[in-house]
Each structure stands twice: as structure tokens, then as C-alpha cells.
Amino acid sequence: MILDKFSLKGKVAIVTGATGGLGGSISLALAEAGADLVLVSRTFSLLKIVAKKIEKLDKQALIIGVNVTKKEEINLAIEKTLEKFGKIDILVNGAGINRRSIAEKFPEELWDEVIDTNLKGAFLFSQAVGKFMIKQNKGKIINIVSLLSVIGGEFCPAYAASKGGLSQLTKALAVAWAKYNINVNAIGPGYFKTSMTKAIYEDQVRNNKILSRIPMGRWGKPEEDLSGAVVYLASEASNYVNGQTIYVDGGWLAY
């Protein structure tokens, strides 16, 4: 039956950036659909809070402190995951940062920080998990990209470059690993209220400008608006969808 294909019962999902506004909600959506979770970020204390919410849904949550820019930490996380669950069905690369500055003075260290976290971190995690998924001959990888994967951002050259790169990486890995039944897709959120966008939505002028540009006339709600797309791309319902990005943006890109 079609609804059974959306079930994630018995699946194991790793979510990076699980303490974030979007990563936390994505983790809960996967758990609600039936998956056990491996929650990853650098802040152990915040991971514990997300884990408690997952456990309330009668799902298991393993928390692992990982900096996604560090290959050794990623490898250790995979080891711990396999030790506990013996498999990895789903990876969501949600860890991300943004640093804003005018392009002509954008500091090199901020450039490296953003590219290393958003692009290299997602690559290293996908590579480490991909090696295992290849042996398993099955897997789902979901990258969290952005509107800035396809449009420019005046003060975000590194962020736009990292997310454009991540969209391309999504396609490259989809093509490389399709023969192993691994689907690599992306979700491009529009504007969602999280700590990453706080400075924007608290600024009345910028907030109004953004709202006037969103056909649905509101910001995305982290706790509900991404859930459908993430469960779909993590589930068997999307088995023939590969290398795609679903933009969840209230119509922003269509405007």
C-alpha cells in the first residue's frame, strides 16, 4: 500500500546539525515516521534535549558529539552507529553555518570556515556513510541546501558558494552511487525562523522585504513545513528520485 512506502519503521537515520532549528525538527519527523536516530552536532548538552524528545516517541536516540569538519570524528561516529545499530539507512547532512560580510572584504578564515562546514563536512560525512551504504547496496542521503544554491546573496559569498557546491555534490553522488541503490537528493528550505536567520527576522525592514517576496506570505515553520519532504526522500516512496532538490520555500523561487 502506498502509505506503507512512507514508513521508516526499522530504519536508522543519522542527522547532522541535529541541535539546530531545522535539524531538530527533521530528526523528530524521521522518528515520528518510525526511524531510530543518531543525533550529531558539536554541542552534547543540546543533543540530549533532542534525544529526550525522540525517546518520548518510543524511538532510540544515540547522541554523538562531532565536528563535521574533522574526518576522524566522523569516522568515530560511524563506528559508534554501527556498534549500536549495525546499519545506516539514512543520512541527513543538515549541519551548516553562515557568515556575512561585504564580498570585497570577506575574510579568508570565514570563507574556509563556511566551506569546510557546509560543503567539505557534507562530503566527508557522505563519503564515510556512502562506503558503508555501498556494501549494504542501499541507502538514502539528503543534503540540506538553500535558495542560495541557485541565487546570489549580497553578503554571503561563501554561503552561496558552499550551497551551490552542495547542490552539485548532490548530483555527482547521485550519479556515482545510483548503481548501489543509493539515492542522493536535497531539500532547499526557503526562509525558516531559526538561530541562523534570527538577525534577519528581528530586523523589521528586512523581515518585511522578505515577506513581500514570499508568495505564501509567511516564513516556513521548522516544526512542520520540512517534515513531509524529508520523510518522502528518506523513504521507499522516493526510490526512483535521484539527484533532485525539493525546494520548500512557500513559492519563493517561482516568483
**Pattern 72-101, ligand NAP, x by CB under 6 A:** ----------------------xxxx----
**N-to-C CA span, the chain:** 36
Segment lying near ligand NAP (by CB under 6 A), choices 7-15, 16-24, 175-183, 207-215:
16-24
- Report the amino acid identity of residue 154: E
Q: Is 194 in the site for ligand NAP (CB under 6 A)?
A: yes
Q: Is 197 in the site for ligand NAP (CB under 6 A)?
A: yes
Q: Cα separation of 161 and 102, whole Å?
A: 14
Q: In angstroms, give the least distance from the CB of 203 to ligand NAP.
A: 14
- Closest-CA residue to 137 (of 87, 79, 74, 81): 87
Residue where the block lists cell 564580498: 103
Contacts of 65 (CB under 8 A, 6+ apart): 40, 41, 42, 43, 44, 47, 73
Q: Is 117 in the site for ligand NAP (CB under 6 A)?
A: yes
Segment lying near ligand NAP (by CB under 6 A), choices 35-43, 82-90, 172-180, 240-248:
35-43
Give catalytic status of residue 191 as yes or no: no
How many amino acids of this chain bind ligand NAP (CB under 6 A)? 31
Q: In angstroms, give the least distance from the CB of 12 to ligand NAP.
A: 19
Coil, strand or helix at 95: coil
Q: Which is nearer to ligand NAP, 185 or 194 (CB)?
A: 194
- Report the amino acid identity of residue 168: Q
Q: In angstroms, give the least distance from the CB of 94 to ligand NAP.
A: 5
Which residues within the stretch 167-186 sit at the binding site for ligand NAP (CB under 6 A)? Answer: none
Contacts of 235 (CB under 8 A, 6+ apart): 5, 6, 7, 8, 33, 140
Coil, strand or helix at 247: strand
**Identified catalytic residue from 159, 191, 232, 247:** 159
Catalytic residues: 159
Residues that bind ligand NAP in the complex, under the rule CB under 6 A: 16-23, 41-43, 46, 66-69, 94-97, 117, 121, 144, 146, 189, 191-192, 194-197
